[in-house]
Structures are given as structure tokens and as C-alpha cells.
Structure 1
Amino acid sequence: MVFRKMLRAFGVGGPDVETQLADPHCRPGGVLEGTVQVTGGDHAVDVEYVAIGLITRMSEENSEGDQEFHRQRLTGSFRLVPGRHHEVPFRFEVPWETPITELYGQRLNGMSMGLTTELEVARAVDKSDLDTVMVHPLPAQERILEALLRLGFRFSRADVERGRVYGVEQRLPFYQEIEFYPPAAYASAINELELTFVPTPERLQVVLEVERRSRRRPEGFGRFDVDYKTIDEVDWPTELDGWLRRAR
């Protein structure tokens, strides 16, 4: 996947950049590898740095917008002469808490994720267009999602909200909510189910929130940790069904 763009901030004849990902697919805690190639324009310039970053769409109160949440500087300063190619390989570590964007080959409605390339020349900064990144669930996340689907829940939408989740270990300043419509077996009591994953290198933290149809009862909350090593030893449809019935 390649994108190339003349850097508008530097005017006609300025440098251009080409970024290539070896594979745009990844998982939380994984890596993205590729190269950034900067080509000199009509005149020599002093490049202060080249950096890349992950950007997602985030909601906050009544607004939403694209937010960079992880970045990596690839170079220090260097001189770029006319027509010269400066190639920078990179290995970009994807944070464990990165929201997932794909499920069974389909983009989750409401989600966007991209890698942006930034170049600074003479205090003028230009960011290239986003290179789309597809973030697939970890095996442990897949087991939980599969269990909900087997129980008959239907995916509604997903979004990323600024804030912190109570009672979990969290490094990034936001969390992802994946929303589901309930099947008939739960629909009389449950209006909507919201699922949040907060992975760490050691375990997967899972938070469930039930929006009840009766406004006289408060929303139901539950959280549990999943051991990556024993994820396949648990009957997750049965476990989740038990929790959901108690939470109704």
C-alpha cells in the first residue's frame, strides 16, 4: 500500500514523500513495518525530522475528530538535496490498547484507523494523507466476540471515546466501545450491550455494560480478566449467558 503526495506546506518544487507498508494488517501489540522515502525537490532543504503516527476517530462530549494517539520519530535532522532519495525503514510498535477495526474481514461500522507521515522543514510541518491500517482482534478478543455472536447478539456499531474505564489498567486516554443489539432471548430486558476491551501484554481486560429497557433499574456493569494461555479452556457462551441473565 503506497501513498505519495507533494507537500503543500513547502510550495511547488518542495520535497515529496512516499510511504509504503509491508502489510497494513496488524493486531494490538503487534508491529507495522515499512519504509518512508523522501525525495528532494527543486532546491536543497534541511529536514528537521520524519515521524509516523497512528490516528483514529475519537468522540468527546458532543464532538468528534481525528486524534493521533501514538507516534514515533524515524530520523533526526538531515540535508535533502534536489532529486536525492532518502529512504527510512521503520518498525512501528502498535499499542496493546489500539482499537480493533475489522471483524471477519469486515470493517466495524464507525471505526477508522490510519498511519500518517509527518515531515518538518524550516519549522513548517506537513502531514501526508492517511494510509489505512486494519487492526484485527487478538485471539482472546475473537473468543469473546464469537461467544456473543453465538448467543445471537448482532453488531451495531463501534466508536472510540475519550476517558478512562474504572477499575482497569489503562495507558491510552481513550477506550473503544463495541455495541450490540440483543437477541429475542434477552430483548425483553436488555436494550443494548456495550463491550470494551483493554488488552495488556499479560491479560485481556473485558468490560460489559448492559443498558436495561426499564429506566427504573440502573445499568448493569461487569468486568473480568482473560488469561491468554487458558482462553480456549472456557465455555464462553455459557459464561457470558450466565452473567447476562444475572444482569437483566
Structure 2
Amino acid sequence: MVFKRLLGSMGVGGPAVDTVLVPGAALPGGTLSGEVRLSGGRADFDIEHITLELLARVEAEHEDGERDGSVVFGRFSVGGGFRLAEGEQRTVPFAVTLPWETPVTELYGQPLGIVLGVRTELAVAGARDKGDLDALTVGPLPVQEAVLEAFGQLGFGFKSADLEFGGIHGSGQQLPFYQEIELTPPPHHSHQVNEIEVTFLADPAGMEVVLEADKRSGLFSGGHDVLSRHRVSHTDAAHSDWNTVVSSWISRLIETHTARLSGQTYGHSDVHGSYVHKDEHSHHSHHGDEGHHTGGRRSGPGMGTVVAAGAAGLAVGVVGGMVAAEAVDEIGDFFEGDEDEEA
């Protein structure tokens, strides 16, 4: 999706910018490629710089409720320092590296309801214009896909996904927000938890997988939630029995969650995991741990098979898909006018 606009600060006859991304989903920590196409105006213009901004639609919790706004989470200079002649057509190719914590917007081609954008800023003669906005699609890393597929094979369903402004205490989080993927439990766990939320914090070596059981309180409301954090590496994706690994994470999380509800003392800190309270004045607060992995192959039908068959699974969500599609179709309106809300 491309929005062509004349450089507003230069008025009618100014240069126009059109950014085109390479088709397909990018990956967190991977390369985002494309080209910026410039069309000269009715006079010569000195192009000082061409900058790409990564935008995300993020929810922020306040005392009076939630508010949506756009957050810039990446900024790259991809060109500039040349004169664009009258009527000249020029293409500026680019390849930039996405942050490792870039949110995932789709799973097996199914939108998750996360809206990201790439905005192009053109600076001419000291004036700036944010003249082009494109939707950004990001797929999961292999280990993210493996973890989510395991949840799906264990009977969990996709409920929703969103981006929360704030930080996870004690983690190496780099971005000013984090992604939460909300999953509904299978029948045999439904009496123990209402939902489990999954957050991935990726880095060059691997990622932290943060799990939260039953989110019932907001940032400024009372209550405590149970969280666990597990460390995995990118190379684990093809060498772990993920159904067994994730099942053990879930069992320990639910056990701790149940103990909390019954008023029992809980929490342990070993190589398998750690569990702590989420207090009323912080975002996720927890201690580090190492996830335990066992060798072997995943059993049962893959999530791709489940999706292809049209069965209920983690990557299937018609309502979520419709919401995401509508948001992407209206991406210009979605981010337009949000400059005052940007963090």
C-alpha cells in the first residue's frame, strides 16, 4: 500500500516520494529492503536527507483507561545529499536491519491484529515532510513459530494480540513497548486459568519467553499476576521437543497460579523457571531463568496442517484477521494525525 503526496512544505510543484517495500514478510532482526522513488517537481531541489521511520500502534494504560497512540521504534537515514532536477525520476534503494524485538504481525499468513508502518521523511531546504506511509508485515522467527505451534498442538487457541507501552522489569528489553499474544486454554485447563499471555523478547543469541497467567488487573489497579520467564536460543528451534517443553512451562505456571489463588506460598528459582508477583505499580516483574529443553521431534499435526484444514488453532482467527485487514487498509488514517501522540 502506497500513499503518494507532494512535499507539502514546498507547495504545488514540489517533489513527490513513493516508497516501495520488497514483497513478503520481514523477520525480527532481519533485513527490510525496498526503494524510495523520487519524482522531481517544477524546479530543482536539494534533497538533504531521506529517512525511514518504523511506527507501531501501541496501547498505553492510564488512570482513566487505555489510550492508543503511535510510537516510533526505529529511524534510519537511507539517502540524501544530492540535487533532484526538475522532473527527474530517481530511485534510492535501501536495506535496513529491523530491531530484534520488532513485533510479529502474522502467523502462517493469518494477521494477528498488530499494525506496523514504515514512514518516509524527506528533508528539502531545511523543511521536512513525512510524505509516504506503508504497511509493514513481520513474520515469526523459527523459535517463535515453534513455541506458538506447540501451544496450538496442546489445544490453546488464539484470542488476540496487542502492543503494550512500557517495559518488563529485569529484562534486557530495548523497545519502549512489548507484544502480548493472548491464548485461550483447552477445556482441561479452562477451570484453572482464563488465558495465558505470551511475550517474546528476542536478541541476537535467542530470546526470553515470558508467560503470564490470567491478566486481571491493570497498571494502576490492585492484584498480582503470576509470570514465568524462559530463555531459549535460536538454534533450539529445530532441536527441541517443543510440545514437551511448552507443556512443562504451562504445568508449572498453572501450578503456581493455582497456589496463589489458594493463598499458598509459591515460587521457585531453578534452571527450569522462576515465578514472582506482578505488583500494582510495575509492568512485568520477574527473575531470569533458563528454559529446559529435551531432544526429539515434535509430534502430531503441524500448525500449518491445522490451518490448512480450517480447524480451530492458534493461527486461525477470522475476527482477528478481519480486524487486522481493516486496520492495514486504513493504515494512513490509523497513523495520520498521531504526531502529537508519539512517544
Whether the TM-score (by the shorter chain) exceeds 0.5 is: yes
CA displacement 1:165-195 (0-9 Å, x = unmatched):
1232222121111111111111101011110
Query: Are the structure 2 counterparts of residues 64 and 2 from structure 1 closer, same or farther at C-alpha, using a change threshold of 3 Å?
Result: closer
Aligned pairs for 1:200-211 within 5 A: 200-211=203-214
Aligned mate of 1:114, from 114, 117, 138? 117
Residue 105 of structure 2 is aligned to residue 101 of structure 1: yes
Aligned pairs for 1:3-42 within 5 A: 3-42=3-42
Q: Which moved more, 1:11-20 or 1:76-85?
A: 76-85
More strand per residue: 1 or 2? 1
Task: Tell me which residue corresponds to 2:71.
Answer: 67
Task: Tell me which residue corresponds to 2:235.
Answer: 229
Verify the 8 A CA contact 1:2 1:21 in the aligned structure 2.
no
How far does residue 27 in structure 1 lie from its aligned partner after superposition?
0.6
Query: Are the structure 2 counterparts of residues 100 and 210 from structure 1 closer, same or farther at C-alpha, using a change threshold of 3 Å?
Result: same
Aligned pairs for 1:184-203 within 5 A: 184-203=187-206
Paired amino acid for 2:251: R
| Structure 1 stretches lacking a partner, 5+ long | none
Partners of 2:249 and 2:25 in 1: CA distance = 33
How far does residue 88 in structure 1 lie from its aligned partner after superposition?
1.1
Q: Which moved more, 1:76-85 or 1:172-181?
A: 76-85
Name segments (4+ residues, structure 1) moved above 6 Å.
none
CA displacement 1:216-245 (0-9 Å, x = unmatched):
x94221111112223333222222223322
Aligned mate of 2:145, from 142, 156, 177? 142
Aligned pairs for 1:173-184 within 5 A: 173-184=176-187
Task: Tell me which residue corresponds to 1:56.
Answer: 56
Paired amino acid for 2:14: G
Partners of 2:126 and 2:160 in 1: CA distance = 40
Query: Are the structure 2 counterparts of residues 189 and 218 from structure 1 closer, same or farther at C-alpha, using a change threshold of 3 Å?
Result: farther
Verify the 8 A CA contact 2:2 2:133 in the aligned structure 1.
no
Partners of 1:231 and 1:26 in 2: CA distance = 18
Query: Are the structure 2 counterparts of residues 88 and 188 from structure 1 closer, same or farther at C-alpha, using a change threshold of 3 Å?
Result: same
Partners of 1:74 and 1:228 in 2: CA distance = 29
CA displacement 1:125-156 (0-9 Å, x = unmatched):
22134211210000000010001111111111
Paired amino acid for 1:13: G
Paired amino acid for 1:138: L
Query: Number of residue pairs matched?
Result: 245
Partners of 1:113 and 1:171 in 2: CA distance = 17
Paired amino acid for 1:95: P
Verify the 8 A CA contact 2:18 2:132 in the aligned structure 1.
no
Task: Tell me which residue corresponds to 1:88.
Answer: 92
Partners of 1:63 and 1:122 in 2: CA distance = 36
Q: CA RMSD in A?
A: 2.0
Task: Tell me which residue corresponds to 1:241.
Answer: 247
| Structure 2 stretches lacking a partner, 5+ long | 217-222, 255-343
How far does residue 32 in structure 1 lie from its aligned partner after superposition?
1.4
Partners of 1:242 and 1:34 in 2: CA distance = 42
Query: Are the structure 2 counterparts of residues 198 and 53 from structure 1 closer, same or farther at C-alpha, using a change threshold of 3 Å?
Result: same
Alignment TM-score, normalising by the size of structure 1: 0.91
Q: Which moved more, 1:31-40 or 1:141-150?
A: 31-40
CA displacement 1:28-85 (0-9 Å, x = unmatched):
1111111112121112223221111211111122211122210111123332221122
Paired amino acid for 1:230: D
Paired amino acid for 1:191: N
Paired amino acid for 2:104: I
Q: Which moved more, 1:122-131 or 1:100-109?
A: 122-131
Q: Which moved more, 1:134-143 or 1:155-164?
A: 155-164
